[in-house]
Amino acid sequence: MEKDLQKSSNASVAKGLLQSEQLYNYILETSVFPREPGPLKELREVTANHPGAGMATAPDAGQLMSMLMKIINAKKTIEVGVFTGYSLLLTALSLPHDGKIVAIDVDREAYEMGLPIIKKAGVQHKIDFIESQALPVLDHLLEHGNEGAFDFAFVDADKVNYKNYHERLMKLVKVGGIIVYDNTLWQGTVAMTEDQLSGQDSFWKDSTDALVELNKLLAADNRVEISQAPLGDGITICWRVR
Ligand X SMILES: O=c1cc(-c2ccc(O)cc2)oc2c(O)c(O)ccc12
DSSP string, 111-153: HHHHHHHHHHTT-GGGEEEEES-HHHHHHHHHHTT-TT-EEEE
From the CB of 193, what's the least distance to ligand SAM, in Å? 26
Site string for ligand SAM, 45-74 (x = CB under 6 A): ----------xxx-----------------
* 60 in contact with ligand X (CB under 6 A): no
* 210 in contact with ligand X (CB under 6 A): no
* 184 in contact with ligand SAM (CB under 6 A): no
d(CA 134, CA 209): 20
From the CB of 174, what's the least distance to ligand SAM, in Å? 22
- Out of 11, 27, 106, 212, the only residue in the binding site for ligand SAM (CB under 6 A) is 106
From the list ligand X, ligand SAM, none, pick the one residue 233 interacts with, judged by a Cβ distance below 5 to 8 Å according to partner type. ligand X
Residue in 187, 201, 161, 168 with CA at minimum distance from that of residue 4: 187
Residues in contact with 205: Cβ distance below 8 Å, sequence separation at least 6, in sequence order: 197
Nearer to ligand X, 3 or 163 (CB): 3
From the list ligand SAM, ligand X, none, pick the one residue 95 interacts with, judged by a Cβ distance below 5 to 8 Å according to partner type. none
User: Cβ(91)–Cβ(64) under 8 Å?
Assistant: no
Burial of 178 from C-beta contacts in 10 A (0-12 / 13-18 / 19+): buried
d(CA 101, CA 89): 10
- Out of 115, 157, 173, 180, the only residue in the binding site for ligand X (CB under 6 A) is 157
* 83 in contact with ligand SAM (CB under 6 A): yes
* 233 in contact with ligand X (CB under 6 A): yes
